[in-house]
Structures are given as structure tokens and as C-alpha cells.
Structure 1
């Protein structure tokens, strides 16, 4: 029974974290309840990316062994008491009502969109791209480094990972997508089309959006050799050979790239696009001094449908144990340590250009001080701080920080959007004035 209970809880966690849809979860639960827990466990982990399997397996084992711990974790995840009781009865002799279980899974699932996704008509021959290696991977997609043999250049090829069916194999073309996979597809295409329409020197250009013969989606973009701003800031922070003053000097060298980023965001705003997830990890520093804004997957187009706001879902923080520096989805979208209060409160209709200005201010805070404005062990802790507390004072973290920059950061991070800089361009002009030695 313990084996069965652990498997059932693994299925529940997989649904909660968006790896499995509620419908898929119900089918695997029925498989587990029929007595084949081993096969059910293999099925559910077939949906989960390898990089997430160990953590989810450990969490399921912990929940299965300790009811009080299970209750605490479910409370932190925002699960109501009646739903907790249903979950904790799974895999025991007290078999719950099937409708209750299905309703529970639906309540746990992340926000999904019910809209139909229009697939791109452009198709490209498989022979065009020669894949060299995998560059990065996330829960829903991965980036490959490939050679475009038509023009003879290296490109970054981003593809949406296939959603697996219950046998563990990839779904065939034409198979109806679950709500979860539909949402991921819509966001993938939104990111590709939005990025492709923003032609700016500091925004990575998209070359092609395509669909292979097997139905899988991809798009290609410029491959920028370099590292993210987050990586550079971390390297400076961890360099034991640098004094605090030298670390500050190294960080201030990043201001020119920051101005470029502000101008890129200002350009996007002029085209009606709000990024909503500006952070150091989404800023690429090229080997030749260029700075580029990445990842427009959460972008909102003024006047257009907001994928994140359509459909139902439990809302709130997708995973209360998530890192403060990863992107959350659902009613709370973005990265907690860098999002403004209105975004942290889930008021997506109130998120506008000034919200991006706040996030730029949070990035500038980290450049000047070496740390983000809010810190905590989990996303939930950081969100709570963003909603209820003022950001820390830069001069308390970095006493030698230039007071002019500290003042700019304080204004950009104003809790009231009306008190922030009116635009990303205005913030860029003020930082550039500091760099030029002019009065700020």
C-alpha cells in the first residue's frame, strides 16, 4: 500500500507542477488503483523531464511517509482542507469518490488556455539544419545549436518538446492536445511571433518559424555567443580575489549594456509589447559588448488576448517551493525577485509599461548592489515580501554605491506605478547621464 500511495502522490504532484494534465492524471490514477503501481509510476515519470524527476520522486516519498508533513506542504501549495483530505486518502483503503478525485486534479492544475492554437503554415525540410549540440533545456522546450546549411551559419533552434501519451511515446501528429499542451504551444508560438516582429539591435532576431512533417514546432534565431547577465553578476559576487570596491567597479561596467536593454524595452513598448519577465537571466551579454533581451514567452500585446488570463485554473503560485529566480505561470506570472507589486498580486490587467520599468529597476538594483531587491528561500516568501515590504536600501548592502544610482533605483522601484519613471527610455536617459558625468 505504501508503494501505491507514493505513486498516487507522484501523479498528484506531476499534475500540480504542470507536467501532466488532469485528464492524463486520472487515467494514470486508474492504472495505479487497479493494482499496477509500478507501471503507473513508470507512466507518470515518462511525462516528466529528467532534470525534474529526482526532486519530484523525493517529494512524493516524503509525502507518503508523513501525513503531517503532507498536510503542511499541501497547505503551503494553497490546497483547501477538503481537497487535502481527498488527496491524503488516495492509495489507502478509504477509496475516495472518483468525481472528487477528478475535481481535485482540476483544482490543482496550473492555469490553462482553452483557445485553439493556429499552427504556422511554413514548413522546412529536415535537411536544412544540422544539429551540433543541445545548448539549454527547460520543462517544455529546448534550444539546440545547429548549422543552417542554406546560408552557412550557426543558429539557435528552439523546439517545443513533444508531449507524451500514456504509453510513454510521443503523441502523433493530429492527436488532440491536452489543455496543458495547448497552452504551452500557444505560448511557444507567441514567443516566436512577438520576438520576430520586434526588429531591434538589442532583441534577438528570429529567422524562421516552422512545423516539421511529424508536427513538431520549432523556430530559429540568432545564436549569440556569450553569457547571461545573471551569470556575470554571480561570477563577480563569487570572485574571492576581488574586494567589495573592486566588485562594485566590475558591476558598474555593466551599465552600458543595461542602457541598451532599457532602449530595447522602450522599443517594444512603442510596438505595444510588454515583456513581463525582465531579469538578469533573460539578458544576454555577447562576447563583443552587445546586450540582448531574451525570452518573450510571457509578453503581452496591448489589445490582444492574454494567454495567461484565459481559461480556468487554481491561480496563485504554481509551486510554493520554487526558487525566487524562476519564472512562475498562472495568475502570478513572472519572476518573484524582479516583479512589481501589481504583478505579484496577480492583477495582470494592471500590468503595463511601468511594470517593466519596475523590473528594469530591480535589475539595476542588482547591478549596483550585487543582490536582488528581495530575497527568500522560496517564491512564496519573496512574493509576500514584494506585496508587503519596501525594497532594501542599496547603501545598506553596498555602502560605496553611487548615491545618484541609488536614487534612480529607488524611483524605478516605487510601489505606486505613477511614481516610477514614465518610460523605459526615461530610465535609460538618466543612467546614460550618470555614465556621461552629467547631472542626474
Structure 2
């Protein structure tokens, strides 16, 4: 299996360099035998940064070798690697000094652009002389291998510090600023109201330390700008802080030279930079000429992240991230770190101003503002006033703003024009025409308002079903609480009724099926979601073990489930689902081969995302051909990465594998899926609770506690969330607190069996046994 993964990695990065990355399906066909790991690595590469970490990606010709001679340098050890090559610590045999040696390896056809940028980096950096810029010592070719020798800096990048600070220790506490990992004593300042406390809590002294380092980085960046160089890839990984707290800017491979820029490197439509740190104008792909202000934005994003350990703009997919950067405002950094002073928040807002004419015009201006904060002087920038805030709101909500403006301004303006631009006789003749025009305009506004209302209704319905489905999954496979099942099913039916699909018998199945058909005709994807949920209802009844109960509520649930199935059958517009329903029934009756025609051969290749997911989930439920199920689900996720239900289910399957193998890679995969689901529904308490459970299962108790606290803030009366909190506190051996949380859960729902078992153990000062989720959602 490892051979298939290694071969995939080599081929993927070769395709990446050539700019011809294939689809996941093609790679899975080329490298059979390790579908889950290949799909996981492909999705992470495509959804996240394409920077290769140390130890990954294609090896160079001297990969892993020590004592290899390149020009006048001898390699000592590898420092890191990226998509273009490897950086080594090397010894200069001529002057007995250590250097950082960047080697461009494995060049092939189509590498001309990479070579040009490598050469550009050497040329640009050699022109810049500043202690805050990593200077070039030498550059040449060793045979066919280009290399650059740079000043070696003993220190860590901001990216390394952010990663280390996010991981933290094993104790539960707060951490909302980068850690420099030293023993500097903290002053006895009084924290701002609401500031966190605890061993890892940030202080004003740490904030000022970060400010001082970024002030120096901004001055170094200004020096590059004054030399005509725009970096275009400022980010935490390209700023190293040495042992004296002096920042040094690295990697000018994507820099733009205002003086000597050649046409071969900046083709129209190219995107230069790392998406999370790119400015709005940078995302416009050369439609706007970039200048030094794009670097000011990127440095502002980096400063925000170092102060809060959170990026100001995040989204589950790259396209969604672009949209967020272009249209959304960053959240107040003080929500993440209360030690940030108000003036620093204003400085960050100014650096992250989407209108670059309102941004700091130079990095020096930003540096001076940071100095003023450090020296307790008043800053120059001011908070956005009400008119500017209104303008930004209009840019973020163009549809609503258009309606408001149309209703409040357009009709009076039209009336004025008609009244004063023509004569009396003509006004009389056109009076009826004016009335007709006004009526048509009102109808248009009403139609647009109705469209917005329907979209909001669809979004709320889908979010409710996603959340309820996720909760039901955890209840079924972790807590097994009968009362909770009844409550969830009641909410499930209530959600359908609110959406106009009452399943209590008050509306005929024919009328309901017509409603489902109308939803499909308006929005095909939404129609499929509704139909799938109707099909799923009967499965939930079975899994909740309510099929034989004589309890009146359970009888009503079963009747509603039958009605849901009847409505789905009447509304079905695609016979494929009817056929696969018959095939799955045959599988349940013992015909193991009944599903094969649906996923093998041309029929399987023609499936869309919804059908791929349907077949893959059936294979998992039936415990058939798990590797093929993984392939189908991975293909579905590649086609529809913002599918909450599929993300949640994929996370559950990964945790099921983790529970079986204890391989941390599966837990990491599950966490990735759940975090994407969380980004899709950040107000869903259950996604926060699930993330907490995964982190607790792998021993990340502090992080899991932070997630479960967020879950309880969103749903303070959720027995499920309190039960999970008790489990996690018990795993962290905080038995007294765990006992209180579990008692709270049982007070809310006495039927949570897992909570009762955990309570019995923590009362004996024993850790509860936490079971990872399996098929939640």
C-alpha cells in the first residue's frame, strides 16, 4: 500500500510542476490499492496550501544526503522543502561559514517558468541590502542543478511559532497569541475586562513584543519597496525571527520588480501568492496592477494571525476563501485576544482595508503606527465612521442594499423626473403610463424580495437538517438516549412542517409530493436534499430501535416515516433512485452482488456527486467493498466539497478506522472533515462538540475542552454537549468537574446511558471510556 501512495506523490508533484494536475478519479485508477490515503492527501493538497512540508513531496537528486558537495558548499542537513526545491544548512568550504543553500531539483519539460522565478529570486535579493532581508551570497549551477546560497539565520519562522502555539501543551488553558518559547517573566499588569487567565494566557507584554517585531518587519519591507520590489508572498512562513527578536524576510521568488520586470513572468490571469494572505486586488488576477499596498495587506493578515492564532479570513474551499476576502470584514481580533488594545485593532482594520486607497499607503506608515502604539502615542488612523460602515455593509450585501435603495430612492426619483421634465399636457397623457411603470417596479422589487426570502428559507431548512442529522448520529452511536431520540425526531418533523412538508397526516401525500416537485423545479440540488432526507427518515426510526415499540409517540414516528417514504416515491423524478432502492433491499435480503452494476464500468463513471455519495454510503452500511466505498465518497467530496452531510459522514468513517487501527492519520483526516463542516455551519453546536470529541480521543484535551465550551455556549441546554464535556473532563482527570457536567447532562436527559456509565467511573476517579464516533450524520 505504501508503494501506491509513494508513486502517487511522485506523480502528483510532477503534474503540479507541469501545471497539469489530474482529477482524483484518474489518480485512483493509476494507483490502486491505497485509495483512502491517496484521496485524503489529494483533498488536503487541493483544498489547502500547496506548499510541501519537510519530508513530503518529490525528493531531489541529493534528498536526505549529508556531506554532498554543491559548488563550493557541503550540505550538513535539510532545513525544509517546498514545491520548487530543498533548503539545506551547508558549510562554505572557502570561508568556513554556514549558509542556507536553496537547491532547485528535478526539473523537467515545462520548467522554464520555475527556472525564471528562481533566477529572479537571486537577482532581486542580491540587490537588497538590509538586515531585515535575507541576502544572497552566491548563485550558480552545479551541472543542471541551480542553487542559491543565502545568509543562514538561526531562528524560527512565524509559521513554526504559530503551529507550535496552536498545539500547546496537554493542560487545559487559554492561548491566543504566538509563543516565543522563552522564560521571560510576565509583568503584573491588570488585564482588560474579559481577558483570559491561566498559565498560557497572553499578556500586554507579549502583545507589545509582537508589535515591536512587526514594526521592524514593516521597515524591512519598506526598504524593498523603495528599491522597486513588491514581494507578493508575505506570510508567516516567509518571515524568520532570529535569536535577538529581529525579523528577516525570505523568499523573493514571486517578487515583482517595478524597474526591470520582464513580460515572461507576469502573464495576464496569473495568481501570485498564498491564498489566505492575498489582498483583494491580488485575487483579481492582474486586472489591477499590484503595488506595495498588497504587501501591507499581507503583513496585516500575518500580524492578525500572530496576535490571535486565527486567520482573519477563512473558508472551507479556495473559491469560498476568495469570496470571503473580497466581501467579508475580519472579525474583531479582540474576540480572540482581549489584550489587544483598541488602537491596535484600528491599525489592523486599516491594514486590512479592502479599498487600497484607504489602506496604509506604505509599509513605513504601518511601521510608524506600530511604533506609536508601542510608545503610547496617539495613532493617525481612525475607526470607520457610520457612512463608511454603511458603504461596507452595502458592498457585503448588494442584493438587500439594492432592494432598500430601489424602494426608498428610485420611485421618488422617477416621480420627480416625470413631474418636472415634461409639460402639463404630456404629464396628463402619461399619468396612466406612470402608474403602470410604478406597479411593474413594485412587482419586480416584491419578486426579488420573495427570491431572497425563499433562499433564506432553504438555507435555514438545510442547516437545521444538517445539525439534527449530526446530533442523531452521535446519539445513535455514542449515547443511545431514548428520550433524546424522541426529542430529536420531534424536532426533525417540526423542521419539515415549518418548511411546508407536514408529515403528520394533515396534508395528503399527493400535495406533499407536488411541493417537493416544485422545490426541485426551482432548485434541483435543494430538491435532491429534501428527497434524500425523506428517504433517510425511515432509516433513523430503525436505528433508534423504535420499530416495535407500542408507545403512541413511537407509533406516530413510524407512521410519519412511512408517509415520508410514500411522498418521496411519488415525487421521485429520477428512476435511478428507485432502482438502487430495489437493489439495496436485495442486498439486505442476502444478494451481495445486487449493487455492483451501479458502481462498476461506465455506469459508475457517469454518476454525479449525489449518486456517488449514495452508493458509497450504502456500501459502508452494508459492509461491502470498503475500498470502493472510499473511492466513491472521495470522488463525491471532490465534486461537492461544501456538502455538510458528506463531510460529517466522512469524518465518522475516518474515526471508525481510527478506532480500529489507532493510526493518527485517520484522526487527522476526521478532524479535517469536521473542521470543514464547522466552517460551513459555525453556529452549529454539534459540530463543535464533535470536534471536541475527536480531539479528546487523540489526547488533545485542552483543545477539545475549548471546542466543547464553544458548543455549550451555543446550546446551553443540550444534554449531549454536557455529556461530552463530562467525558472530556474525565479523560483529562478533572474528575470533580466531570462529575458536575455529567450530572447536568443526566438532569437534562436521564436516558443518556453513556453519561451514566461515565459518571459511575469518574466517581471512582477513573477515566471514562470515550468511543470515537462512527457513522454520525
Task: Please state which band the TM-score falls in when normalised by the shorter chain.
Answer: 0.5 to 0.7
- Aligned residue for 1:223? 152
Return the match for 1:427 from 358, 361, 366. 366
For the residues of structure 1 that align with 2:90 and 2:278, how far apart are their CA atoms? 34
- Aligned residue for 1:150? 94
Return the match for 2:322 from 383, 402, 405. 383
CA offset at residue 287 of structure 1?
1.5
CA offset at residue 387 of structure 1?
1.8
CA offset at residue 216 of structure 1?
1.3
- 1:186 and 2:116 aligned: yes
CA offset at residue 379 of structure 1?
3.0
Return the match for 1:258 from 214, 220, 239. 214
For the residues of structure 2 that align with 1:308 and 1:353, how far apart are their CA atoms? 18
SS at match of 1:418: coil
CA offset at residue 57 of structure 1?
7.5
Q: Superposition RMSD on alpha carbons, in Å? A: 3.7
CA offset at residue 305 of structure 1?
2.0
Task: Please tell me whether Structure 1 or Structure 2 has the larger radius of gyration of its CA atoms.
Answer: 2
Q: Which portions of structure 1, spanning 4 or more consecutive aligned residues, are displaced by more than 6 angstroms?
A: 54-57, 60-63
For the residues of structure 1 that align with 2:145 and 2:368, how far apart are their CA atoms? 43
Length-normalised TM-score, structure 2? 0.38
For the residues of structure 2 that align with 1:294 and 1:55, how far apart are their CA atoms? 37
Is the contact made by 1:374 and 1:386 (CA closer than 8 Å) also made in structure 2? yes
Inter-CA distance 348–267: structure 2 relative to 1 (3 Å threshold):
farther
- 1:239 and 2:168 aligned: yes
For the residues of structure 2 that align with 1:270 and 1:233, how far apart are their CA atoms? 30
SS at match of 2:137: strand
Following superposition of structure 1 onto structure 2, how do residues 19-418 of structure 1 map, counting pairs within 5 Å?
Answer: 19-20=17-18, 58-59=38-39, 126=70, 128-163=72-107, 178-179=109-110, 181-212=111-142, 214-240=143-169, 243=174, 244=196, 246-249=201-204, 250-303=206-259, 304-305=261-262, 307-310=264-267, 331-347=270-286, 349-418=288-357
Is the contact made by 1:339 and 1:359 (CA closer than 8 Å) also made in structure 2? yes
CA offset at residue 402 of structure 1?
0.6
SS at match of 1:200: coil
CA offset at residue 367 of structure 1?
2.9
- Aligned residue for 1:3? none
- 1:60-87 CA-to-partner distances (Å, cap 9, x unmatched) read 9999xxxxxxxxx99x99xxxxxxxxxx
Is the contact made by 1:128 and 1:150 (CA closer than 8 Å) also made in structure 2? yes
Is the contact made by 2:326 and 2:354 (CA closer than 8 Å) also made in structure 1? no
Is the contact made by 1:158 and 1:219 (CA closer than 8 Å) also made in structure 2? yes
For the residues of structure 1 that align with 2:264 and 2:167, how far apart are their CA atoms? 39
The structure whose residues are more often strand, as a share, is: 1
For the residues of structure 2 that align with 1:295 and 1:60, how far apart are their CA atoms? 29
- 1:134-171 CA-to-partner distances (Å, cap 9, x unmatched) read 111122200011100100011111010022xxxxxxxx
For the residues of structure 2 that align with 1:183 and 1:149, how far apart are their CA atoms? 31
Q: Give the length in aligned residue pairs.
A: 322
Inter-CA distance 157–430: structure 2 relative to 1 (3 Å threshold):
same
Is the contact made by 1:252 and 1:367 (CA closer than 8 Å) also made in structure 2? no
The structure whose residues are more often helix, as a share, is: 2
For the residues of structure 2 that align with 1:398 and 1:370, how far apart are their CA atoms? 9
- Aligned residue for 1:326? none
CA offset at residue 56 of structure 1?
11
Is the contact made by 2:116 and 2:265 (CA closer than 8 Å) also made in structure 1? no
Is the contact made by 2:202 and 2:339 (CA closer than 8 Å) also made in structure 1? no
Q: Which runs of 5+ in 2 are unaligned?
A: 49-68, 175-195, 380-777
- 1:387-412 CA-to-partner distances (Å, cap 9, x unmatched) read 22122222333334210100000011
Is the contact made by 1:345 and 1:387 (CA closer than 8 Å) also made in structure 2? no
Length-normalised TM-score, structure 1? 0.65
Is the contact made by 1:282 and 1:293 (CA closer than 8 Å) also made in structure 2? yes
CA offset at residue 414 of structure 1?
0.7
For the residues of structure 1 that align with 2:222 and 2:234, how far apart are their CA atoms? 13
